Amino acid sequence: MDIPEGVYVITGATHGLGRACAMELAQRSLGCVVLACRNRVLAVNLANTICEEFKVSRGRIIVLEETLDLSEELSVRRYALSLSNWLKEERKTITTLINNAGIGGARFSTNSRGYDLVISTNYLGHFLLTILLLPYIRGRVVNVSSQNHDPENGIPGTHPEISYPQTESEYIGQALYGRVPLPEGLKARELRLSRSKLFQILFTYELSRRINGSYPQYIADSVKEVVTNLPHGNSCKLAEGKSISVIAMCPGVLPESNAMSCMLGPTAGFIIWLLSRILRMIPYCRRLMRTLKESGHHLANLALFPRDGGTAGFFVDGVAVPSSKFTLSSDGLTKHAIMLWDLSVQWTNLTEDELKAAGL
């Protein structure tokens, strides 16, 4: 079924899930697909591939001159300005912003400001990009998160023995600078990754609450009552703000992507990819593993149908499911979500004028 014209912006579109989603969006929609990527050459190559394989007009696959490095604040700001100028020139708005780009549990490294690269790329860059583009969004924001944000679900890479940051100084040390309470190694890398995905969900819920007063799906009535009394709820001043929905999704474990190689090394990642069909015959692995085509399809559906599924939801295989107990708790939705929001505003140097322009 063809979808009416719109603008679909997807970060990290040159590889893995982003690439699969971009290709499906180009085939199923009649609108423009904006490939927001760090490597412009790869983005142009993908645009050409899409047009040749699927007979899509080249004018519908947009690659701006400006590139997007989500780990660097200045790059995010330059890209947001370039995209907003293009939107104004074309008299278009964003139907869906897909915050997909990310890096797996890479070895510890930092951006130019000394911030942890995983948090900067997976969370902070998307936080800033979303706020800067909010005046141009008319449909939906989709944050690609993961079920590994929940330490209690038994998924490899989660660490229930490690408590969440509790104070502002702990957030600064553990999130911003990556000083997690584990010796450097695989477990520390896993924890940084799962924390970045946790922050995406807290951001999803807090942005929804501030925009239009939405509650997370599956929230308990007692928690809903507490959240109702929080400041800044349903306070977005944008004329179209009330209609924006914000959701998060989990794509599952994707052996075809480079996430496994990033986490375990190229050799182990390649072996897992070779064995993926066999592994999916095991019930436990089948519950977690997805192909890029499967997850790309689910992500595209969430982008193409912004009115379906409501807002402030967490989706797996296109179906809304409860996120972790922590993210649905009173403590998570009050103390932590608000603290993280305030710190993120500071860390990204958002000004009062920029927040006002976003209606926040």
pLDDT, tens digit, 9 for 90 and up, residues 100-121:
999 887 789 999 999 999 999 9
Domains of the chain (ranges; CATH) run: 7-252+290-357 (3.40.50.720)
* 60-87 average pLDDT score: 98
* 45-53 average pLDDT score: 96
pLDDT band for position 266 (50/70/90)?
A: low
Catalytic (active-site) positions? 177
Closest CA to 218 of 112, 329, 138: 329
- What is the residue-averaged pLDDT of the chain? 88
- How much is the pLDDT for 55? 93
Report the amino acid identity of residue 152.
E
pLDDT in tens, 86-103: 999 999 999 999 999 998
Neighbours of 274 (CB within 10 A): 11
Q: Which residues pair with 296 in a beta bridge?
A: none
- How much is the pLDDT for 186? 81
Cβ proximity of 143 and 99 under 8 Å: yes
pLDDT band for position 188 (50/70/90)?
A: confident
* 82-86 average pLDDT score: 98
* 50-64 average pLDDT score: 95
b/e map 93-115, b = 16+ CB within 10 Å: bbbbbbbbbbbbbeebebbeeeb
- How much is the pLDDT for 305? 85
Classify strands 7-11 and 32-36 as parallel, antiparallel or unpaired: parallel
Q: Is the pLDDT of residue 78 over 70?
A: yes
- How many residues are listed for the chain in this entry? 360
> How far apart, in whole angstroms, are the C-alpha atoms of residue 297 and residue 295?
5
pLDDT band for position 70 (50/70/90)?
A: very high
Q: Is the pLDDT of residue 155 over 80?
A: no
* 121-140 average pLDDT score: 97
> How far apart, in whole angstroms, are the C-alpha atoms of residue 277 and residue 281?
7
Q: Is the pLDDT of residue 263 over 60?
A: no
> How far apart, in whole angstroms, are the C-alpha atoms of residue 295 and residue 293?
6
- How much is the pLDDT for 1? 47
Q: What percent of the chain has pLDDT over 90?
A: 68
CA geometry: angle 103, 107, 111, nearest 5 deg = 65
- How much is the pLDDT for 107? 84
- The better pLDDT of the pair 208, 1 is held by 208
- How much is the pLDDT for 262? 58
Tokens of 127: 């936080």
> How far apart, in whole angstroms, are the C-alpha atoms of residue 341 and residue 347?
10
